[in-house]
Chains A and B, each alone.
Chain A
Amino acid sequence: MRRFKTYLTAAAFLGPFLLLLVIFQGWPLATMVRDSTRKFSFLNPDEATSVGLDNYRALLDDPMVVKSLQVTVLFSLGLVVLVIPLGLALALFVNQRFRGVKALRALIFTPVVTSVVVIATLWTFLLDPGHGLANTVLGAVGIDPQPFVTSTGQALPSLVVMTVWAQVGFAMILFLSGLQSIPGELLEAASIDGANPWQTFWRVKLPLLRRTTLFVVVIMTVFSFQAFAPAYVMTGGGPESSTVLFVYYIYQSAFTYLRAGYAEALSVLLMAIILVVSSVQLFLLRTKESS
């Protein structure tokens, strides 16, 4: 009886959340899985025909799946590799006390709170080969105009640089709170032992920031596997598919190529990838904690 009452109370508190979660996460998820075994377009979903696992088979044949996975992995690697050291360096820098440091922190963080649509649009114009600010600045220091997103070689790096610019503030804040949670006694002890700042960083701070670093890696990886707007707004996946991010390819399959069932199969694949990647990373986080 007591146990029953506990369940009832729990249900009362959890009810609204769980109800909404089931309706707006569970139901769409189920729809997605069901539709991944169908052939239909959103133009007329009533005319769906069941095709079993055909969509999944087609997925194995599709060179664009491989291409877009490559692009997405490169994008996430580029992002992680640049964001970690830059975010850490920025955190160390703004962890000092000097006039205006708070404003500087806020400034670096600003792109994180700016909408991706606005950032992608802003950068489209920044990187415009003809009238963009980037080439104007390069020209001022004597460098020839660059093609940026209009060339296969520079398009993906351009998106990576833009995303690093937009997200590095997030990493900085995480590292900053990691730094600030390092007990002052530890640092004092190090300086009494005669360690210079360089040694303090490598021997004391960095090891203690391991968990933060892993966390940033998780966040950035998941973030880049979900990235969509850069490709949508800036490049349309081109040139020559060099920026076809996975979620963008899902969008294209569903809305441009009218293969909704196939797009749902791709979504299932995406979810599987994200779940695996983040489980592995979360597992790493766990072990670090217990050790």
Chain B
Amino acid sequence: MKLMRIGAVGLAVLLLGTACTAAKDTASKPGCDKVVTLNLLRAQDTPPAPSVLKDWEAAHPCIEIKVSEVPFGQLADKINVIAGSPTPPDVYTYDGPNTATYASRGVIAPMDAAITAAIRADIIPATIKEHTYEGRLYSPGIRQSALALIYNKDMLDKLGITPPDSLDKAWTWDQAIDAMRKCQVGPAGNAKVWGLAPTQSGNGTPGPSYVSLNFLRSAGDPKADQQSSLYKTFWALAPDGKTINGWLNTPEAARGAQIYQDIFNKYGISPKAGIPNAYADGKACFDIQQPSYIGKLLAPDATFKTGVTPLPYVTTPITQTGSLTLGVGARSKHPKEAAEFVMFVASGPEQLKNSQGDHSMPVLKSLFTQLPQYDSYPLAIYRNELEQWGQPRPPGPHYAQYDSIVTSAMRDIAYGGDVAATLDKAVKQFEQIAGKG
């Protein structure tokens, strides 16, 4: 009993101590009329980078940024909890394709007032499209992405395989799978060196729609008749953001999904479970990656040489675009300062630093002139894909749900589920949610 009493007193003191140190944060700063604190929610290792925050502090000493961090996989869930709370963040780092989801539910505020016509004209059209909801622009964007196939050049040289180095010669998936099978070391489904690395997006298991939807959409054709399933397959969701039957579960989409399934089953050239850094560790010949992944791999001191070839296709070449971006909280008490901060992170100099740092692509067209590495192989592949093949993710305020349903459907397909039935099930599931909210 006595021990417990001592413990209780000690504890009270400790807790009080914590409370006091927390209270100290509100002290005002010399040189500022008032200190505004902006709460920023972001995922680990996502923008704005620490260097950007340092630049901001130097330029705006009276507006402090308080960062809350969650793991990337929990970012969407966290936003869903915190947005409705009495103290929602002032600035969100979120996945750009979710713009409509958040805009339609009053999580983020439109930013067209802060984005001048000049800036707007400089932003890549795909980004504008991604960040627009009902005619209003919600974020200037801070970087763009595209997917390409990267490969271990040392391994492929030994086999005498030279993947194409320009978009017009891009492989189809049949050709790519052929090369992957040749390069794999060990039996199908249980390899020492895999033909294709397991994805590094999502949770590392197969399925992330950012990657897998390319297989489905690539089996469609935007130039076909607008009533045809070939046309609809390419868009994978109707422009209304709701109609999905006949768009996601077409015979063509099933063909694309079948290729995806074959990679994991029939050919066994990619593992069903995640392996961290499989490609970088030399355990896979090919990997589907963004440019930001390959900075270290292209360095002269890398353990092996890496090449880049365009993302293979089925019928129509495509790479889905969209990346993390920043938005102003709709219920922020400091909307002006928050917008100022977002514009600062999205400004030319900061984007340029970002791109020079990790090879991610900027969203401002004018910056490419200062990034000569994007003019020549290998990074030119990414830039050309973005400009010529790039397509935003399917539209609408239900994208977040769509993303998660397609991801789990494609995972089921990779695990060997019946292709047509799984796509039909995904369609029904989405209809129920989009229809009834």
Whether A associates with B in a native complex is yes
Q: Which of B83, B273, B422 contacts A43 (CB 8 A)?
A: B83
CB of A240, distance to nearest CB on chain B (Å): 5
- Provide 28 A-B residue pairs closer than 8 Å at the C-beta atoms, listed in order of the A residue: A39-B437, A41-B80, A41-B84, A42-B80, A42-B84, A43-B80, A43-B102, A43-B107, A44-B106, A45-B84, A54-B436, A61-B432, A62-B432, A63-B428, A131-B275, A150-B272, A151-B415, A151-B416, A152-B417, A236-B411, A238-B408, A239-B412, A240-B417, A255-B80, A256-B76, A257-B401, A258-B101, A259-B437
Q: A42-B84, A147-B272, A256-B404 known; A58 and B77 CB under 8 Å?
A: no
Cα–Cα, bound, A44→B102 (Å): 10
Contacts of A129 in B (CB 8 A): 271-273
Task: Judge whether B24 is part of the interface by a CB distance below 8 angstroms.
Answer: no
Task: Judge whether A26 is part of the interface by a CB distance below 8 angstroms.
Answer: no
Cα–Cα, bound, A259→B437 (Å): 6
CB of A16, distance to nearest CB on chain B (Å): 15
Task: Judge whether A145 is part of the interface by a CB distance below 8 angstroms.
Answer: yes
Chain B interface secondary structure, helix, strand, loop or mixed?
A: helix
Cα–Cα, bound, A236→B401 (Å): 15
- CB contacts under 8 Å to A, within B391-437, are 400-401, 404, 408, 411-412, 415-417, 422, 428-429, 432-433, 436-437
Q: Can you list, as one digit per residue, whether each of A47-79 has a CB less than 8 Å from chain B (1) or not (0)?
A: 100000010001001111000000000000000
Cα–Cα, bound, A62→B417 (Å): 21
- CB contacts under 8 Å to A, within B249-286, are 271-273, 275
Q: A150-B273, A238-B412 known; A256 and B77 CB under 8 Å?
A: yes
- Output the nearest chain A residue to B81 by Cβ-Cβ distance: A42
Task: Judge whether A197 is part of the interface by a CB distance below 8 angstroms.
Answer: no
Task: Judge whether A237 is part of the interface by a CB distance below 8 angstroms.
Answer: yes
Contacts of B205 in A (CB 8 A): 150
Cα–Cα, bound, A257→B77 (Å): 10
Instruction: Give the B interface residue count (CB, 8 A).
Output: 35
A258 lies within 8 A of B417 (CB): no
Leading 5 A-B pairs by shortest Cβ distance: A43-B105, A239-B415, A42-B84, A45-B84, A44-B106
Instruction: Give the A interface residue count (CB, 8 A).
Output: 35
Q: A54-B436, A129-B273, A255-B80 are in contact. List 14 more A-B contacts (CB 8 A).
A: A39-B437, A42-B84, A43-B83, A43-B105, A44-B106, A61-B432, A64-B429, A129-B272, A238-B411, A239-B412, A240-B417, A257-B404, A257-B433, A259-B433
Cα–Cα, bound, A270→B245 (Å): 32
Contacts of B273 in A (CB 8 A): 128-131, 150
Contacts of A42 in B (CB 8 A): 80-81, 83-84
Contacts of A255 in B (CB 8 A): 76-77, 80-81
